[in-house]
């Protein structure tokens, strides 16, 4: 069904919009990459797509090191497709209509300095009795301490937490499970959240299996976590365009800067291919070059 709708869209571009076959084929190429992502996540109809999936796809492409122009073009292609499908009545509404412009996707992998991370993580208090503050602080600590994808954090089940061995069993892309260590600070906050804050949020949803819950006791979705990250950046006074993957990038970049082996980082991030992880060597090289130019007398 995905391929059928895509072929219909390409024909529409050529016949009704008058685009050259090569131009329409270029849109098709971008969209087939998106379709491959959907099929990997067991989505076989555009009616089953929501904004979170589109954001996850673009974040994943960013993580692979796609150029910002490529990300912008792919978002445009997706928006054109969904506008067409909605106009044809093949989907009930155009879910991309309210998404930001392609300028949002100038998100080549960026990361925070260690000082910025410290300010960012302290944006939410862990000392008071507000369960939402403690929840938010714990989520941010875990994102940075363990390099989780935001979708992995949102779907993290209670059974994934191994306090005794200080690790998480995370199910990532392709239903693959990996073992991820948890830092002392994140573990201490997670223990407090589970014993103090989560019972308050749980309410009557006693069988809810996920770790992180809304104030109504329901599992948090990706867009809510995105908003929490944005609020933390605002509170911390950090002007960078921070999104949930920024903490994952920071996790990997800081490990590399402190001498961690690239293969170890690959395993912790859950990358199937080492070439995906190698983007962080480019980031680190750029940082070192910038420092050299700034501080060396002949830089």
| Domains of the chain from N-terminus onward | 2-105 (1.10.150.130), 114-291 (1.10.443.10)
Q: What is the pTM of this model?
A: 0.62
What's the pLDDT tens digit per position in 44-91? 899 988 877 887 788 778 767 677 678 878 888 898 999 899 998 999
Return the closest-CA partner of residue 121 out of 258, 198, 228: 228
Active-site residue among 149, 198, 222, 254? 149
User: Lowest-confidence range among 103-112, 136-145, 229-238?
Assistant: 103-112
Residue 169, H or E segment: strand 167-171
Q: Is 280 a catalytic residue?
A: yes
Looking at residue 289, its pLDDT comes to 55
What's the pLDDT tens digit per position in 162-202? 999 999 998 877 677 888 888 899 999 999 999 999 999 99
Q: Which residue has the tokens 């084929």?
A: 25
Helix, strand or coil for residue 8? helix
Tell me how far apart the alpha carbons of residues 65 and 276 are, in angstroms, rounded to a whole number.
8
- The proportion of the chain whose per-residue pLDDT surpasses 90, expressed as a percent, equals 32
Q: Quick one: tokens of 283?
A: 């980031």
Contact at 8 Å (CB) between 30 and 74? yes
- The proportion of the chain whose per-residue pLDDT surpasses 70, expressed as a percent, equals 84
Q: Is 193 a catalytic residue?
A: no
Active-site residue among 173, 188, 192, 218? 173
Contact at 8 Å (CB) between 152 and 244? no
Q: Is 245 a catalytic residue?
A: yes
The arithmetic mean of pLDDT across residues 28-34, rounded, is: 92
Q: Is 258 a catalytic residue?
A: no
Active-site residue among 135, 248, 249, 254? 248
């Amino acid at each position: 069904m995905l391929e059928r709708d895509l072929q219909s869209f390409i024909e529409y571009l050529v016949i009704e919009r008058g685009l050259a076959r090569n131009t329409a084929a270029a849109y098709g190429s971008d969209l087939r990459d998106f379709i491959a992502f959907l099929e990997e996540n067991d989505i076989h109809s555009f009616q089953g797509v929501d904004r979170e999936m589109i954001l996850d796809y673009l974040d994943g492409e960013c993580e692979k090191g796609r150029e910002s122009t490529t990300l912008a073009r792919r978002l445009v292609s997706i928006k054109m497709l969904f506008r067409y499908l909605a106009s044809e009545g093949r989907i009930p509404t155009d879910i991309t209509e309210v998404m930001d412009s392609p300028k949002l996707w100038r998100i080549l992998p960026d990361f925070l300095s260690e000082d910025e991370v410290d300010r960012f993580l302290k944006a939410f208090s862990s000392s008071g009795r507000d369960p939402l503050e403690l929840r938010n602080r714990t989520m941010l600590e875990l994102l940075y301490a363990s390099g989780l994808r935001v979708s992995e954090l949102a779907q993290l089940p209670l059974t994934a937490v191994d306090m005794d061995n200080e690790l998480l069993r995370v199910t990532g892309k392709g239903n693959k499970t990996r073992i991820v260590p948890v830092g002392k600070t994140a573990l201490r906050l997670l223990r407090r959240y589970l014993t103090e804050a989560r019972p308050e949020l749980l309410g009557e949803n006693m069988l809810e299996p996920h770790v992180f819950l809304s104030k109504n006791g329901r599992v948090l979705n990706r867009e809510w976590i995105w908003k929490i990250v944005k609020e933390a950046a605002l509170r911390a006074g950090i002007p960078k365009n921070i999104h949930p993957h920024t903490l994952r990038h920071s996790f990997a970049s800081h490990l590399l800067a402190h001498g961690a082996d690239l293969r170890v980082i690959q395993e912790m991030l859950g990358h199937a291919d080492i070439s995906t992880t190698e983007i962080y060597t480019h980031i680190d090289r750029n940082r070192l070059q910038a420092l050299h130019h700034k501080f060396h007398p002949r830089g």
